[in-house]
């Protein structure tokens, strides 16, 4: 325990009492529970907390904006299964971090947002304190749990409760409110040490009901056209070998959601990624493994899924309330992914594959047909590039460097990359997830490099890059092995829109023409490269990945390339009164 020492006068005036304070208790509580990295932005009242944490041997990564620090903490949680920590100042800083906290909760990433705050007695009377805000009340509806610590002796319990809440059951975001006065509170060091709590078994296994396992297997074995869908919950579980063994034992085609890609390689013979439309429409039994029937899967209904009532669903999830959220789940299996898959694999026994050969052959034929159709597009070497030609170059790089981590966001840049770039290892693809929010790119890239030590390739649309682009200074400051590729087509979706009034203002979706994002990286001491063809792009990215130096490649994309809202244009309402 780090302590401050204060001489306390007695009758003999000889006693010295060892004391500690709130600053040191927060740091020691985190360290006791294996937290060694903090992401954040320094400022009042948490500046000294960051300094002291660094002095105590923790890694403190300072960002330029709290939302990006929060995104870093969130994806650190996904990668490590430990809560990522984001530290912010009060009020505006807290609000900046809150977006990331809400996004972490939606995506089931364990994260703790720790924010300094104004004093309760002033906030509650609305007397106008510095950055006055009732942060706890604001955070509660947007995260899994929220706590406030008012007394130094309760810091150990507060941190322990936050950790357990973040990782137990379905993981999510937790808010921990630490008023400014708390940090300076002093108490006896020995008593302080005894007040700290080491969390025991924060995310215990949740074993599924044997009857539920038996029911699920009966439904799966009865299928004529079964399909397994793997979600990012399956990737988070880190039950990789068990999942692969189960999928291969059944012989059932599988469809990975984007952040589950690589649990089994996208080139695996059972992978139906390139036959997505076919398997979703024609499957008669669908097993969801850590995947939710939200908008990314058209809520399990509609044209995507074929005739109404033609599907029976099996769902494996740790959250019972997820069952029947959109459609009837005929075989719910509630428990942690690892335990559920182990039980299902044991229940299969030695029956062998359950997938009918004709269905497997149909899926394989459709996949090969679609791959063959796509191949010429990925080989184009034109200037300016289109999305397929550029992604084709990056596809080869990831194939040759399967250990690299791919971060991806944008509209067309994201939607097309999901289908084009194959992944070969689990938790190597990080993207916008459930909400589809832009701005995760640089925060995810920083944390991926910090937490794994692996090279990172961040493929960004030019619009998406704008949300977090200033963090390339952070990448350079910490000399991280991150290569950022900005797909620059001069605008949002495409750079060819015009102002319908003919006025001097450009269209709302158009950016500065021919911007040189690579010069931004050079300004901070990194490497900047302009690439106008797929060959140039491949050379630049390979050089960056070989060197490990912070690099930004400005990939010049045809301004006319791309479509409105990528592949989700149906979510962008069109006015019926629009002039033709």
User: Terminus-to-terminus CA distance in the chain, angstroms?
Assistant: 72
**Could you tell me if 384 and 353 lie in one domain?**
no
Q: Flag whether 389 is in a domain.
A: yes
Rounded to whole angstroms, the Cα distance separating 344 from 221 reads: 12
Domain count, the chain: 3
User: Percent of the chain having pLDDT more than 70?
Assistant: 95
Q: Flag whether 214 is in a domain.
A: yes
**Could you tell me if 525 and 555 lie in one domain?**
yes
Predicted confidence at residue 580, as pLDDT, reads 44
**Could you tell me if 280 and 175 lie in one domain?**
no
Q: Flag whether 201 is in a domain.
A: no
Contact residues for 95 (Cβ-Cβ < 8 A; gap 6+): 138
Q: Flag whether 546 is in a domain.
A: yes
**Could you tell me if 144 and 255 lie in one domain?**
no
Residue where one domain finishes, among candidates 148, 166, 195: 195
Instruction: Look at residues 98, 152, 116 and name the one whose alpha carbon lies nearest to residue 43.
Output: 116
What CATH number corresponds to the domain at position 416? 3.40.50.970
Helix %, strand %, coil % for the chain, to 5?
Answer: 45, 20, 40
Predicted confidence at residue 16, as pLDDT, reads 73
pLDDT digits (tens, 9 = 90+) for 491-525: 999 899 999 999 999 999 999 999 999 999 999 99
Q: Flag whether 580 is in a domain.
A: no
Q: Flag whether 155 is in a domain.
A: yes
**Could you tell me if 103 and 178 lie in one domain?**
yes
pLDDT digits (tens, 9 = 90+) for 252-307: 999 999 999 999 999 999 999 999 999 999 999 999 999 999 999 999 999 999 99
**Could you tell me if 341 and 422 lie in one domain?**
no
Give the predicted TM-score (pTM) of the model. Answer: 0.95
| Average pLDDT over every residue of 185-204 | 98
- Give yes or no for a contact between 286 and 312, defined as CB atoms under 8 angstroms apart: yes
**Could you tell me if 20 and 122 lie in one domain?**
yes
Predicted confidence at residue 14, as pLDDT, reads 54
Q: Flag whether 183 is in a domain.
A: yes
The yes-or-no verdict on residue 351 having pLDDT over 70 is no
**Could you tell me if 187 and 214 lie in one domain?**
no
Reduced 3-state DSSP string for 357-414? HHHHHHHHHHHHHHHHHHHHHHCCCCCCECHHHHHHHHHHHHHHCCCCEEEEECCHHH
Residue where one domain finishes, among candidates 308, 334, 365: 365
List the domain range (segments joined by +) for residue 165. 4-195
Written as one string, the DSSP assignment of 240-253 is HHHHHHHHHHHT--
Q: Tell me the pLDDT band of 10, cut-offs 50, 70 and 90.
A: very low
**Could you tell me if 336 and 385 lie in one domain?**
no
Q: Flag whether 576 is in a domain.
A: no
The yes-or-no verdict on residue 7 having pLDDT over 60 is no
């Amino acid at each position: 325990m780090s302590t401050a020492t204060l001489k306390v006068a007695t009758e003999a005036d000889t006693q010295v009492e060892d004391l500690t304070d709130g600053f040191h208790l927060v740091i020691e509580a985190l360290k006791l529970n294996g937290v060694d990295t903090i992401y954040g932005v320094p400022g009042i009242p948490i500046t000294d907390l960051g300094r002291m944490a660094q002095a105590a041997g923790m890694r403190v990564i300072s960002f330029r904006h709290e939302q990006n620090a929060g995104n870093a903490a969130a994806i650190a949680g996904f990668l490590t299964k430990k809560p990522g920590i984001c530290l912010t100042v009060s009020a505006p800083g807290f609000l900046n971090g809150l977006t990331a906290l809400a996004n972490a909760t939606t995506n089931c990433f364990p994260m703790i947002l720790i924010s300094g705050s104004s004093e309760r007695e002033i906030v509650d009377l609305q007397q106008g304190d510095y950055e006055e805000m009732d942060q706890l009340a604001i955070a509660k509806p947007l995260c899994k749990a929220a706590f406030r610590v008012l007394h130094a002796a309760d810091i150990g319990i507060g941190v322990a409760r936050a950790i357990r809440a973040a990782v137990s059951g379905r993981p999510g975001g937790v808010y921990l409110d630490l008023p400014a006065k708390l940090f300076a509170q002093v108490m006896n060091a020995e008593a302080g040490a005894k007040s700290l709590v080491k969390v025991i078994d924060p995310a215990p296994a949740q074993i599924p009901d044997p009857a539920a396992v038996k029911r699920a297997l009966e439904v799966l074995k009865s299928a004529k056209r079964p399909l397994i869908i793997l979600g990012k919950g399956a990737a988070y579980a880190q039950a990789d070998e068990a999942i692969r063994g189960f999928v291969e034992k059944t012989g059932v085609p599988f469809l990975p959601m984007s952040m589950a890609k690589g649990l089994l390689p996208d080139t695996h013979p059972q992978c139906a990624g390139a036959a997505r439309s076919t398997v979703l429409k024609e499957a008669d039994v669908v097993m969801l493994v850590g995947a939710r029937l939200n908008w990314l899967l058209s809520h399990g209904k509609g044209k995507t899924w074929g005739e109404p009532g033609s599907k029976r669903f099996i769902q494996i999830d740790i959250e019972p309330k997820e069952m029947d959220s959109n459609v009837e789940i005929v075989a719910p299996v509630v428990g942690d992914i690892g335990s559920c898959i182990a039980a299902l694999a044991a229940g299969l026994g030695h029956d062998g594959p359950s997938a009918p050969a004709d269905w497997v052959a149909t899926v394989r034929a459709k996949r090969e047909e679609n791959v063959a159709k796509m191949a010429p597009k990925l080989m184009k070497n034109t200037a300016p590039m289109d999305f397929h030609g550029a992604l084709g170059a990056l596809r080869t790089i990831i194939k040759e460097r399967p250990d690299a981590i791919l971060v991806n966001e944008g509209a067309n840049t994201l939607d097309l990359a999901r289908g084009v770039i194959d992944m070969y290892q689990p938790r190597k693809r990080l993207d916008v997830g459930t909400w589809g929010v832009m701005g995760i790119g640089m925060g995810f890239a920083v944390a991926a490099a910090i937490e794994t030590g692996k090279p990172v390739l961040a493929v960004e649309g030019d619009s998406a890059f704008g949300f977090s682009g200033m963090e390339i200074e952070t990448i350079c400051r910490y000399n991280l092995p991150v290569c950022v590729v900005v797909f620059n087509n001069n605008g949002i979706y495409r750079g060819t829109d015009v102002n319908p009034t003919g006025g001097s203002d450009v269209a709302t979706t158009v950016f500065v023409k021919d911007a040189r994002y690579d010069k931004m990286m050079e300004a901070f001491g990194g490497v900047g490269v302009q690439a106008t063809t797929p060959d140039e792009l491949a050379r630049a990215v390979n050089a960056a990945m070989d060197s490990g130096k912070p690099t930004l490649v400005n990939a010049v994309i045809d301004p006319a390339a791309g479509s409105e809202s990528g592949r989700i244009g149906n979510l962008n309402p069109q006015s019926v009164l629009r002039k033709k």
